[in-house]
Amino acid sequence: MFVCKGRRSALFSGLVLLLAAGFTPPQPAAADEESPVCFRRHDFDAMFSAHTHHPDRQLASYLRHHNTSAHYPTFQEIHKTLFHTDISIYHGFQPLAPVPFKGGVRPATIEFLRSMLKRPVQFMVEVGSFIGSSAALFGKHLLQNASEPHGLLLCIDTWDGDINMWLLESFVGKMGLQHGSPVLYERFLSRMMAEVASGSLS
């Protein structure tokens, strides 16, 4: 089981809201003019064009200098790549008390997906993991059905909650705001640790 936190979706949403509100991006200056903004034509095209390949120059440089050939990654490989350490992200973490929540994914969903596939799944990406209910089901499926000793599930989420979770009182308990920040990530880690302790995941 592996996790990845990211906040780029929030930045993208903010840009969409600005554009929807009538915000006009600053136009870059012509080649013979001094630009009033801090980016060049290439940067402008990268920010506001859907046709740009690798608009993030730092990411493009990273991909050029690292092995990006298609392969099934290991837990250790992804952990080292993203967290730059061999110490587990679970090390020293004190689990929170569980909270009741029935996720949207059911065992029947997994059975349907399995019926559509031609071979066992070795690597799965879940985008939007919340507090781990569906991740637990997907993880159990990988553990039981992967052709290798263990499959790998990569869970991606901001763990910041969506607008409903911030506004609706029914989510107050699950959000568990501390100093203005939710503890959804901590709840997710706690659920994964409980599944590992029970032998359902590894």
| Concatenated DSSP letters of 76-145 | HHHHHHHHSSSS-TTTT--PPPP-----S--HHHHHHHHHH-SS--SEEEEE--TTSHHHHHHHHHHHHH
Residue 137 in domain: yes
Give me the mean pLDDT over the 189-195 stretch: 94
Residue 194 in domain: yes
Which residues touch 154 (CB under 8 Å, ≥6 apart)? 2, 3, 4, 78, 123, 124, 125, 126
CA pseudo-torsion sign 14, 15, 20, 26: positive
pLDDT(105) > 60: yes
Residue 4 in domain: no
> What phi, psi does 124 have (nearest 5°)?
-130, 145
Region for residue 92 given its phi and psi (left: phi exceeds 0; alpha: psi -120 to 50; beta: otherwise): left
**Pairing of the two strands 152-157 and 2-5:** parallel
Q: How confident is the model at residue 40 (pLDDT cuts 50, 70, 90)?
A: low
Domain that residue 166 falls in? 86-198
Q: How confident is the model at residue 51 (pLDDT cuts 50, 70, 90)?
A: low
Whether the pTM exceeds 0.95: the reply is: no
Q: What is the DSSP letter of 36?
A: S
Residue 170 in domain: yes
pLDDT(174) > 80: yes
Q: How many domains does the chain have?
A: 1
Which value, in Å, is the radius of gyration of the alpha carbons in the chain?
21
Residue 176 in domain: yes
